[in-house]
Amino acid sequence: MSAPASTSRASAPAAASFALPPRPRRPLRAVAWTVVAVVVVASFWSVDITWSRLVELPAEVLRYVGLMFGSPNWSKLPEALWQTWRSVEMAWIGTVLGILVATPLSLVAARGFGPAPVRWALRLVFSVIRAVPELVFAIIILSVTGLTPLTGALALALNGVGTLGKWGYEAVEAVPPGPIEAARAAGGSTSQVLRWGVWPQASPTFLSFWLYRFEINVRASAVLGLIGVGGIGDMLTSYTQYREWSTVGMLLIVVVVVTMTIDAVSGRIRRRIMEGPSVRT
């Protein structure tokens, strides 16, 4: 009769040893979430929003969709295609100028190929450039060049230096070290190491980034046209101000079709560069 009692006394410490530890307290996390909640509530409270208009929003959207796409004004299609071509030209020139400036700078900014002060200064410049939208650069540049497509191309190029520079030095730093060490062991200079040890491995990534930046610039060129630098965005602004919704609908169709076509072609080329040609079975 004493065995069950001893068993229960033995299992009591064992059960106590498996008790869950007390939940850790994280007062800093609670304070952080409280501050975030207060900021969000204050943001909604301070913005002058007519919440009752949200109920009318779906009906208004449907009405304007009908005005734009019910019967598009195709008589303006030749002019729309010409202005779209100007936007693509703007994007292409901006991409090429950005590549010419960003590529050598990204090589210097990579770890192991440039002095530390220069490297960190270039990375800071890339970060500052990326923090400024293309539209702000265009507004600053137009005071010198005026309302011309060159203004948009320069703004796209300047903004592209920030992104292409960052992508570039990250691609160089991701290269396997074997060919680099072999080139240095053979007595190669820094330029020779970059040419023979880095570029053959990093060039597909660079080409992919350049094409992707061109896709971004094509979309951004339409936005830059809103300030009057030319292109399809300039037409959109003009016809929207005059409430010619049928023409606006046609312009939106052209923008969507051209942008999707360029994205599809560029994406296919990028996949071919990164993955190589597919083998037919």
Q: What is the mean pLDDT of the chain?
A: 83
pTM (2 decimals)? 0.76
Q: Can you count the helices (H) and strands (E) in the chain? A: 12, 0
CA 281/CA 279 separation, integer angstroms = 6
Helices assigned H by DSSP within 47-76: 53-69
Task: Kindly tell me if the per-residue pLDDT of 93 is higher than 90.
Answer: yes
Q: What is the dihedral of CA 115, 116, 121, 124, to 10 degrees?
A: 140
Opening angle at CA 168, ends 141 and 193, nearest 5:
130
Burial zone of 239 (CB within 10 Å; 0-12 exposed, 13-18 middle, 19+ buried): buried
Task: Of 12-21, 228-237, 255-264, give the lowest mean pLDDT range.
Answer: 12-21
pLDDT band at 1 (very low <50, low <70, confident <90, very high): very low
Q: Domains in the chain, start-ordered, CATH in brackets?
A: 72-275 (1.10.3720.10)
CA 21/CA 23 separation, integer angstroms = 6
What pLDDT was estimated at residue 102? 93
83, 235 contact by CB (below 8 A): yes
What pLDDT was estimated at residue 13? 52
Over residues 50-88, the pLDDT tens digits come to: 767 777 778 888 888 888 888 888 888 898 899 889 889
230, 138 contact by CB (below 8 A): no
Task: Kindly tell me if the per-residue pLDDT of 16 is higher than 60.
Answer: no
Task: Kindly tell me if the per-residue pLDDT of 230 is higher than 60.
Answer: yes
In which residue are the tokens 């010198």 written?
A: 144
